[in-house]
Amino acid sequence: MKKSAVRACGLAAILSAALVAQRPFGVLTSSPADPAAMVEHRVARLTALLGLSSEQATQATTIFTNAQTALAPFEAGLRQATEALPAAVKSNATATIDTLATTIGSATAQITAIRNKADAAFYAILTPDQQAKFGQTGGWGMGGLGPRAMRHGPRQ
């Protein structure tokens, strides 16, 4: 009886891990989310959180759309390099591993810069009260709504 319970728990853990690994967004998913839908969703969340005016929402949409457009080639390069790594490891291709690691590092740096520059441009269109709320979300680099803000709301 104990062995079957342990096996059931193990199977449940494996299935849970598989479900968690299938994220709806991110550079490593097999079918990236629609960039326009991502921007629309982000602006809707920020509007609800910060009380953006229609003019601010329009400006935010432009800022984040431009950022998504700039991100696309770097995310594609990051995805390709990440997918190529296992084959390089299996074949012990150390030079290829070095090249892929450099590509991954460079793409990650560019993605970080683009996201944070978009946040900076967005922050500049906010009123002082909205800036204070935005800063409390704890999620710079992700449109002001990082993982902490999504789970717990703004810092008190």
Which percentage of the chain shows pLDDT scores above 70?
Answer: 67
d(CA 132, CA 49): 12
d(CA 22, CA 78): 18
d(CA 134, CA 60): 13
> What pLDDT band is residue 117 in, cutting at 50, 70 and 90?
very high
Radius of gyration of the chain (CA): 20
Residue 33, C-beta contacts closer than 8 angstroms, at least 6 positions apart: 24, 25
DSSP H or E stretch at residue 145: none
User: Alpha helix locations (H) across the chain?
Assistant: 2-21, 35-50, 54-90, 94-124, 128-136, 147-152
Of 32-36, 101-105, 130-134, the poorest mean pLDDT is in: 32-36
Q: What is the pLDDT of residue 37?
A: 92
Q: What is the tens place of the pLDDT at every residue in 101-116? A: 999 999 999 999 999 9
> What pLDDT band is residue 136 in, cutting at 50, 70 and 90?
confident
DSSP state of 25: S
Rounded to two decimals, the pTM is: 0.66
End-to-end alpha carbon distance in the chain: 49
Check whether 15 has a pLDDT greater than 70. Answer: no
Q: What is the tens place of the pLDDT at every residue in 38-96? A: 999 999 999 999 999 999 999 999 999 999 999 999 999 999 999 999 999 999 999 99
Check whether 123 has a pLDDT greater than 60. Answer: yes
Short-list 130, 131, 148, CA closest to 139: 148
> What pLDDT band is residue 133 in, cutting at 50, 70 and 90?
confident
